[in-house]
Amino acid sequence: MKRPFLLVVLFCLLPASSSLLAAPAAAKPNILLIVADDLGYNDVGFQGGRDIPTPHLDKLAASGVRCTSGYVSYPVCSPSRAGFITGRYQQRFGHEFNPRWNLESKIDGLPLSQSTMGDALRGAGYTTGVIGKWHLGAHPQFHPNRRGFDEFYGFLGGGHRYLPGSHVDVEVGAGKKMETHADAEHASPMLRNTVEEPEPPELTTKLGEEAAASVTRHARDAKPWFLYLAFNAPHTPLQARTDMLAKFAHIADERRRTYAAMVATVDEAVGRVLGALDATGQRERTLVFFFSDNGGPMTKRNANASHNGILRGQKGDIFEGGIRVPFVVSWPGRLPAGRSYAEPVIALDVLPTALAAVGVKRDPKLPPLDGVNLLPFLTGETKTPPHARLFWRMDDGAAFAVREGKWKWFRTYENAPQLYDLVADPSEKNDLVAKHPEVAARLAASVAEWNRGLVAPVWFNNPFGGFINLPGPGKTAVP
């Protein structure tokens, strides 16, 4: 029997106010945003991976542009998602940590002051939907149906078990205060809008089925659609279908074997969605984005046996392995097929690119976006780089980074600043601060200037457990 979530979650689903100037409906493409969770940089075929076949993702990459310097705005799940769903650096509105799993908190979630991609596209006449992981607040005020999305199937937290009834433990604290307990977040209800549904036999498979059904259901609508397909795979817990595990029996490492099965299940699900686009004749009028929300966590807590290839670092780092991700943009007939694009781009670019494709202007009353429209850059019409600089701030200023062309400057925690030429040294092995002090000084100054436009975090939380050594609320560090 279906039950309302949190006893009573009754609210009016008000349409987002908008002053967007829209193009004729027939000219508007559908928008499909597909996001993997904790995917290793080297763990798909189009990135050079060999031990995990990903034919559907490889086909998607071959149909569009592979951005080889594709970034996210944060190396941890929720802040990264808060960035691309708003098109703004999430530190501008205090969303700098993963929200705590707290159903009563009106603080831990995407601030209500922020307009989302759902708001923008629904205001432009789109049917909008989210399938999968939300992780932008669990209180009813943060629910997707209240943040610009007409339809929601998924879960509100940052993670979920893949197999029903399985037990997931988490560790909290540090040292002698470390405790283990069953994780309620990973067993939270599956929801269709605000109504609970039974858990599916395997979660990733179900998300792909739901997305394909949505694509098919809306194929003949008068309105175009925007679908945000947010996988939680291959994030831990490491769980997969038996038949998928059997396909990777040759991998000796049990964790890597299960991870491979999970990535393959994501690929299968993506194939199901792309197949629905083809079957309904919508592929050439659908702009598709694919990337991971951050790099793979190879050794830290929640490690999933991912590989980041030649990149240094992992999830939770501002090294390349934490922020540089597989990144594809595909729109057959409008973007070149099989092209690689080397200039730095960022997930913040998704919203302005979608708005440009749709042919609408952002409400001038809203704060400006930090992303740019990538279409003229990916087609080759515009030859200059999309961004003069890209920036990162982590843990309330405990770490900073900036990329300008080939240069990357960063300072991590108590360490001295470092400078790398990413074109010659993508693995960040040869620190060039001493050889190019003028470049380091210029980039440090640019970070300090950018930081002045940011705010302190609204809440604090360590996504890897333990305690955080931070300057403290209201005392945001500067580079």
Q: pLDDT, tens digit, for every residue of 260-315?
A: 999 999 999 999 999 999 999 999 999 999 999 999 999 987 899 999 999 999 99
Residue 6 pLDDT class (50, 70, 90 cuts) = very low
Among the residue ranges 4-13, 234-243, 378-387, the one predicted with the least confidence is 4-13
**Burial class of residue 471, CB neighbours in 10 A (0-12, 13-18, 19+):** middle
pLDDT of 302 reads 84
pLDDT digits (tens, 9 = 90+) for 345-372: 999 999 999 999 999 999 999 999 999 9
Mean pLDDT, the chain, integer: 91
Measure the CA–CA gap between 32 and 180, rounded to whole angstroms: 38
Domain 27-379 listed as CATH 3.40.190.10: no
pLDDT digits (tens, 9 = 90+) for 168-216: 866 555 555 544 445 899 999 999 999 999 999 999 999 999 999 999 9
pLDDT tops 90 at residue 375: yes
Measure the CA–CA gap between 322 and 318, rounded to whole angstroms: 6
pLDDT tops 50 at residue 2: no
Residue 414 pLDDT class (50, 70, 90 cuts) = confident
pLDDT tops 80 at residue 473: no
pLDDT of 300 reads 82
pLDDT tops 70 at residue 85: yes
The pTM score is: 0.91
Cβ atoms of 33 and 374 within 8 Å: the answer is no
pLDDT, mean of residues 129-152 = 98
- Record the tokens describing residue 87, joined without a space: 């098109």
- Whose tokens are 């075929």? That residue is 45
Q: What percent of the chain has pLDDT over 90?
A: 85
pLDDT tops 90 at residue 27: no
Instruction: Output the furthest CA–CA distance in the chain (Å, rounded).
Output: 68
pLDDT of 462 reads 64
pLDDT tops 90 at residue 319: yes
pLDDT tops 80 at residue 143: yes
Query: Cα dist. 342→73, 94, 123 in Å?
Result: 18, 31, 33
pLDDT, mean of residues 65-72 = 98
- Whose tokens are 């941890």? That residue is 76
pLDDT of 165 reads 86
- Record the tokens describing residue 109, joined without a space: 């979630």
Q: What is the 3-state secondary structure (H, E, C) of the chain?
A: CCCECCCCCCCCCCCCCCCCCCCCHHHCCEEEEEEECCCCCCCCHHHCCCCCCCHHHHHHHHCCEEECCEECCCCCHHHHHHHHHHCCCHHHCCCCCCCCCCCCCCCCECCCCCCCHHHHHHHCCCEEEEEEECCCECCHHHCHHHCCCCEEEEECCCCCCCCCCCCCEEEECCHHHCEEEECCHHHCCEEECCEEECCCCCHHHHHHHHHHHHHHHCCCCCCCEEEEEECCCCCCCCCCCHHHHHHCCCCCCHHHHHHHHHHHHHHHHHHHHHHHHHHCCCHHHEEEEEEECCCCCCCCCCCCCCCCCCCCCCCCCCCHHHHECCEEEECECCECCCEEECCCEEHHHHHHHHHHHHCCCCCCCCCCCCCCCCHHHHHCCCCCCCCCCEEEEEHHHCEEEEEECCEEEEEECCCCCEEEECCCCCCCCCCCCCCCHHHHHHHHHHHHHHHCCCCCCCCCCCCCCCCCCCCCCCCCCCC
